[in-house]
Chain A
């Protein structure tokens, strides 16, 4: 098996799984319980928070646990909207945001908020100049992803931060799910960034758990009310085993960081160079520093992405379509569409996403299979 769909999810580290099992069995108290067992769970939860905060160099009280990236995105958008609606009802997102942001903004649009969409250029980067023009007196939030999950373009968060420096009241949210420990942190967690969302299963942690970074001093309203957990901000009994396992996974993931980007970049470079030999192949992820080292998006003209994904699957190679192919309804929100790639080509795109466990040998095998498929599809395309 060759697993090239790491941006969708990553296999849990054996050590993180071990932690999950041990915590589930050993730390049986509810963190809110007053007795020793509850206190033990609470202490472990706080140590996890501190470990995560230390790893991304923020304060412990700026880390809030969630069920994953989608909840984090929902929380920051709706929490900002509820908290700041008396100051304004205008929100800016880009036209390549992950559905968790885009659909949430859509819901807010149906509830009295105005959403402006900042365009990207033909290479997949937010046009900062156009975004600046969209800012109004009543703008309360700008939400831009750190790294595009489909083609890997690293968004100009620093440039947007510079632009927003003149508007200190606007919340600046970055969905960092695809960025953490893959792209240098200073590129996506600038001092001006107020909120960032993360998901454990993107860095070999368990599914169903994540966290947000929430800069001290900023205000959000809760998405979940009830028992008052997470300092009254995110009620619900905590997923202790998930959280601790996530902290373990993040520590292990960041320990491997030193050579990971270069490792995945090497494999990606090999694939790009190999794919460019094929006349009917268009590569959207360029081999330049402003693309993430772990994501490669390309299209095979005339063959729908899902067909190629399934053909590769038959050979035990697992990749992904882009959102352009998920359904026609989603086409309007796809990254390639936003880049003004023609529909016929956008619907042919697939994504290869790598991790430190992938190898050049796997890439070579991928190319052998791709070559066979290319020839077969050429006959079909006539």
Chain B
């Protein structure tokens, strides 16, 4: 069945007050971006729901994309037929034939926006129920919670029929909570943190530190692939590659072994904050989970966090590893995250990192670095690219495949 229209019901937007309009506007914008491959689709975002007019585009390809858009509670594809009883009856029968399994119950719910239509709602329900009985005489009607609810709406331009309500991801439209910089490593936790932030409306940009030749091209690609996995929830995501080699080498040269990790993390946070400021973000997001590794003890967090007053959001801070993995599997990042392309080199990993670093010591060791110079050169080398779900296809090879 190829649908004509999709009716989208909003998530938490329903509770918003005067800012509702901007939420709806953002959602419409996000849907438009997500459906960028389907230029004929027209979006009508009303106060209570959104209508997507497909105009001939393939609904089978569009429906899965909507399942990932935050801010959508659920949605119903519908098919439009001409506003005549024979056409409506025929479509009702087509729907019930494809939807019905023995033992299921059904109901017809009719509504007329066009009040000049020949039958009223009750008459429509009766007439169309009869059409169903013609096809499946043994089927049962059930008014409360039927298995199949065929909705028929008579509008001015035609009759719209639907029976499916597909569950969306809920949440808030990405962008309604402002922008945040996600510190994206190649691991399991940070993509999950990005996803959870997007769910609450944050427009996430991915910041990834690359230290060639110590980190590989494959590790960078892995981070981009992870970004591509969460990009569909917003349509696309900005990927910011931060050159970090010189900084790592310099830290290695002048900082005592036990504080390598702490000082490295402080530099990463400073850079992320500078990027945030440059790109007008409001927060920093990372995948820290309390107690998991040396850099994620409370003492470490205090020592690292001190370099900025920007809020840092840690969506997975209180989660067990198993809980994080569960989400990673749900959003399909887990298998990718466990691939063995390391995003940091053992040369820079201290054998015995400080799990309880002292802030004053970190500051003292750091004073040996030319922080401003190092940061300026790194910021000058940023590479920004847009990642979408289909970014995997290299233009370089288009003539070969």
Chain A positions near chain B (C-beta within 8 angstroms): 19, 22-23, 34, 36, 39-40, 42-44, 46-48, 50-51, 61, 244, 247-248, 251
Q: Which residues of B contact A22 (CB under 8 A)?
A: 399-400
Q: Which residues of B contact A251 (CB under 8 A)?
A: 401
* B216 pairs with A244, CB closer than 8 A: no
CB distance from B211 to the nearest CB of A (A): 15
Q: Which residues of A contact B335 (CB under 8 A)?
A: 61
Q: Which residues of A contact B123 (CB under 8 A)?
A: none
Q: Which residues of A contact B218 (CB under 8 A)?
A: 39, 42
CB distance from B327 to the nearest CB of A (A): 19
* A244 pairs with B394, CB closer than 8 A: no
Q: Provided the pairs A43-B394, A61-B335 are in contact, do residues A48 and B401 lie with their beta carbons within 8 angstroms?
A: yes
B326 touches A (CB below 8 Å)? no
Q: Which residues of B contact A244 (CB under 8 A)?
A: 397, 400-401
* B217 pairs with A19, CB closer than 8 A: no
Cα A330 to Cα B218 in complex, Å, equals 50
Cα A39 to Cα B216 in complex, Å, equals 10
CB distance from A62 to the nearest CB of B (A): 12
* A44 pairs with B397, CB closer than 8 A: yes
Contact residue among B216, B399, B401 (Cβ-Cβ distance under 8 Å from A47): B401
* B394 pairs with A51, CB closer than 8 A: no
CB distance from B246 to the nearest CB of A (A): 21
Q: Which residues of B contact A46 (CB under 8 A)?
A: 392
Q: Which residues of A contact B221 (CB under 8 A)?
A: 43
Q: Which residues of B contact A19 (CB under 8 A)?
A: 400-401
Residue of A with least CB distance to B392: A50
Cα A50 to Cα B391 in complex, Å, equals 12
* A248 pairs with B216, CB closer than 8 A: no
- Please encode chain B, from 367 to 399, with 1 for each CB lying within 8 Å of some chain A CB and 0 for all others: 000000000000000000000000011101101
* B393 pairs with A47, CB closer than 8 A: yes
- Please encode chain B, from 205 to 216, with 1 for each CB lying within 8 Å of some chain A CB and 0 for all others: 000000000001
- Name B314-362 residues within 8 Å CB distance of A: 335
Residue of A with least CB distance to B217: A39
Q: Which residues of A contact B400 (CB under 8 A)?
A: 19, 22-23, 44, 244, 248
Interface centre among A47, A51, A248 (most CB of B within 10 A): A47
Q: Which residues of A contact B396 (CB under 8 A)?
A: 40
Cα A101 to Cα B216 in complex, Å, equals 42
Q: Which residues of B contact A50 (CB under 8 A)?
A: 392-393
Cα A50 to Cα B396 in complex, Å, equals 16
Q: Provided the pairs A61-B335, A248-B401 are in contact, do residues A36 and B392 lie with their beta carbons within 8 angstroms?
A: no
* A47 pairs with B394, CB closer than 8 A: yes
- Name B169-218 residues within 8 Å CB distance of A: 216-218
- Can you pick out 7 interface pairs between chain A and chain B where the beta carbons lie within 8 Å of each other? A22-B399, A39-B217, A43-B221, A43-B394, A47-B392, A48-B401, A244-B401
Q: Provided the pairs A47-B392, A47-B394 are in contact, do residues A36 and B401 lie with their beta carbons within 8 angstroms?
A: no
Closest 6 CB pairs of A and B: A39-B217, A19-B400, A44-B397, A244-B400, A51-B401, A247-B401
Cα A298 to Cα B124 in complex, Å, equals 58
Contact residue among A23, A34, A44, A247 (Cβ-Cβ distance under 8 Å from B216): A34
Cα A51 to Cα B392 in complex, Å, equals 11
Cα A23 to Cα B401 in complex, Å, equals 10
Apart from A48-B401, A50-B392: 19 A-B pairs, beta carbons within 8 A: A19-B401, A22-B399, A22-B400, A23-B400, A39-B218, A40-B396, A43-B221, A43-B394, A43-B397, A44-B394, A44-B397, A44-B400, A47-B397, A47-B401, A50-B393, A244-B397, A247-B401, A248-B400, A251-B401
CB distance from B221 to the nearest CB of A (A): 8
Q: Which residues of B contact A51 (CB under 8 A)?
A: 401
CB distance from B61 to the nearest CB of A (A): 12
Q: Which residues of B contact A40 (CB under 8 A)?
A: 396
Residue of A with least CB distance to B213: A34
Cα A109 to Cα B394 in complex, Å, equals 47
Q: Which residues of B contact A47 (CB under 8 A)?
A: 392-394, 397, 401
Residue of B with least CB distance to A27: B400
Cα A251 to Cα B399 in complex, Å, equals 13
CB distance from A63 to the nearest CB of B (A): 14
Interface centre among B216, B217, B401 (most CB of A within 10 A): B401
Residue of A with least CB distance to B335: A61
Cα A148 to Cα B392 in complex, Å, equals 37
Residue of B with least CB distance to A44: B397
- Name B126-180 residues within 8 Å CB distance of A: none
Cα A43 to Cα B400 in complex, Å, equals 12
- Name B99-134 residues within 8 Å CB distance of A: none
Residue of A with least CB distance to B393: A47
Residue of B with least CB distance to A48: B401
Cα A22 to Cα B396 in complex, Å, equals 13
CB distance from A265 to the nearest CB of B (A): 26
Cα A32 to Cα B161 in complex, Å, equals 54
Residue of B with least CB distance to A40: B396
CB distance from B390 to the nearest CB of A (A): 10
CB distance from B101 to the nearest CB of A (A): 16
CB distance from A56 to the nearest CB of B (A): 15
CB distance from B217 to the nearest CB of A (A): 5
Q: Which residues of A contact B401 (CB under 8 A)?
A: 19, 47-48, 51, 244, 247-248, 251
